[in-house]
Amino acid sequence: MEKPLGMEEIKIKPEDEAKGFYVLLNNGTGVCLPNHRYLVPKYVLSELEKEGIKFRIKNNDTKIKS
């Protein structure tokens, strides 16, 4: 899947899933993908970090494992 410009595909750690989803809902638009992955605007990453939510970013060379 080609991601839109300015968006990142992330996977939130299971222990932070509920809190992370709440932050995502309150900080902009995004897309829920299968296997607890999300496509979010880059600025949301700093909001997740501020809240101490652990996540991984998928880059072009790495595939996020389910």
Q: Edge-to-edge, what's the strand order for the sheet holding 7-12? A: 31-33, 37-41, 7-12, 55-58
**Residue 9's closest CA among 38, 43, 30, 46?**
38
List the domain boundaries for the chain.
Answer: 7-58
Q: What is the pLDDT of residues 11-50, one digit of tens each?
A: 999 899 999 989 998 987 888 898 889 999 999 999 999 9
Residues 66 and 35: their CA atoms lie apart, in Å, by 6
What is residue 1's predicted lDDT score, i.e. its pLDDT?
55
What is residue 66's predicted lDDT score, i.e. its pLDDT?
41
Q: Can you name the CATH fold of 7-58?
A: Alpha-Beta Plaits (3.30.70)
Residues 55 and 58: their CA atoms lie apart, in Å, by 10
What is residue 59's predicted lDDT score, i.e. its pLDDT?
74
Q: Taking the model in full, what pTM does it have?
A: 0.77
More confident residue, 6 or 48: 48
Task: Supply φ then ψ for residue 33, to 5 degrees.
Answer: -115, 165
